[in-house]
A and B are shown apart, each in its own frame.
Chain A
């Protein structure tokens, strides 16, 4: 039982390049989330998907897009990376409204 799997684990991009961060969960959870974590800023919600076929903006959505490909997969895309997007990105899933989140191990992204 893998839980929440994120790929890649590390990535270095040049300013202006694009990339997609992948997230998959095998727990049949309905809700999925993308967070970024920066020193002193805590976890900030980028986008979330309450169920398959729906996505909503979180606290810091600018510069990102998401796709809920199916119930298992929720991807995060950076169309034109900027140094301000250097961060650790976490994907999480949630079984239901009264449950906590299960997090992946993160993607460390550096934009130079």
Chain B
């Protein structure tokens, strides 16, 4: 079983829709949860970083963590064509020496 599972997509939605991207993880020791955005032919960039269960909001983006279910989500409100990218979830725990990445979900926002 992979430590982080992420649906690869692709996911295509119309502009203005609410997007939900999700990951599950297997080890309850993980404490830090991140979302990276990767545009085509670019490196991943850190989008959201959260430590605790619950929601963290930043503009149109909301990161949600449910530690009891080992489930993390990224919601994008009022999606724009510029949000078209691959989104990678990532997790880290104090017992691990490095961040573990999901395989990424490719998202396309149709104008």
Binding site secondary structure of chain B: loop
B101 beta carbon closer than 8 Å to chain A: yes
Chain A residues contacting B101 (CB-CB under 8 Å) are 42-43
User: Shortest CB–CB separation between residue B105 and chain A, in angstroms?
Assistant: 11
Instruction: Annotate B46-66 by CB proximity to A: 1 below 8 A, 0 otherwise.
Output: 100100000000000000000
A64 beta carbon closer than 8 Å to chain B: no
Instruction: Offer 28 A-B interface pairs, CB within 8 angstroms, sorted by A.
Output: A40-B8, A40-B103, A41-B103, A42-B88, A42-B101, A42-B102, A42-B103, A43-B88, A43-B101, A45-B98, A50-B97, A56-B97, A90-B43, A90-B44, A97-B94, A100-B36, A100-B49, A100-B90, A100-B99, A101-B46, A101-B99, A102-B46, A103-B43, A103-B44, A103-B45, A105-B42, A105-B43, A106-B42
Chain A minimum-CB-distance residue to B43 = A103
Interface residues on A, range: 20 to 34
